[in-house]
A and B are shown apart, each in its own frame.
Chain A
Amino acid sequence: GDSVTQMEGPVTLSEEACLTINCTYTATGYPSLFWYVQYPGEGLQLLLKATKADDKGSNKGFEATYRKETTSFHLEKGSVQVSDSAVYFCALSDRGNTPLVFGKGTRLSVIA
């Protein structure tokens, strides 16, 4: 079945450092890809998404590019802030109404 593998955390970075969180997927179809973020004590929020190959999703300085050839959707940010400290989830969904399949999440801590 469909699955998502993302790098294990926790990841600890200093403020203004570069961030990359790796995500690869396995899917039988041609999925849409997502990054969700969970701040402490809150539910998940959509951060960005991409629905076809070579699409780049972006939001709040974060970016991820849908790479069909490598089945990847890595999350990047050039300069992280303390407020980016959260758990980040990569997810996929096949076309149509199929539920999201989530990775296990990567905890990011940014220290001043």
Chain B
Amino acid sequence: DAGVIQSPRHEVTEMGQEVTLRCKPISGHNSLFWYRQTMMRGLELLIYFNNNVPIDDSGMPEDRFSAKMPNASFSTLKIQPSEPRDSAVYFCASSLIPGIDSGANVLTFGAGSRLTVL
């Protein structure tokens, strides 16, 4: 398996533009997570899906952020309109949903999408 695939790896855009980040999880994984990493706040969970259904989006900072998972092999994170404070590295991660009595899920991360909003 090629791992979790994210695109684009780098994105530079101007304030007010729409940004779409894409993620292809590992085949067979049924849980998908979007994280944001900044120097100030570290790693923040934005949203996660189980079986393509959003479970918790309380980490999404504002209505400008939205995420979708139309099928098991694809997810998008959209920012519209973008602002300079959205500049960060956005990571997608996937895992198998563990059984109730099994250990917690082990995440596999993509390489990240570095977003710069000017």
Contacts and interface: CB of A to CB of B under 8 A. Distances in A.
Interface of A: 31-32, 34, 36, 41-46, 49, 51, 89, 93-105
A44 B105 contact: no
B81 interface: no
A39 B24 CA distance: 21
Contacts of B111: 41-43
Main secondary structure of the interface of A (DSSP, over half): loop
Interface of B: 4, 31, 33, 42-43, 45, 48, 50, 56, 91, 93, 97-98, 100-101, 103-112
Given A34-B106, A43-B110, 14 more contacts: A43-B112, A44-B43, A46-B107, A49-B103, A96-B100, A96-B104, A97-B97, A97-B98, A98-B104, A99-B48, A99-B56, A100-B104, A104-B42, A105-B43
Nearest to A94: B104
Contacts of A41: 111
A45 B109 contact: yes
Contact of B104 (A45, A51, A102): A51
A43 B104 contact: no
Contacts of A43: 4, 91, 93, 109-112
Contact of A100 (B101, B107, B112): B107
A37 B100 CA distance: 27
A93 B102 CA distance: 12
Nearest to A103: B42
A95 B109 CA distance: 20
B91 A99 contact: no
A37 to B, nearest CB: 11
Contact of A99 (B33, B42, B100): B33
Given A99-B45, A105-B42, A32 B103 contact: yes
A102 B97 CA distance: 19
Contacts of A100: 45, 104-105, 107
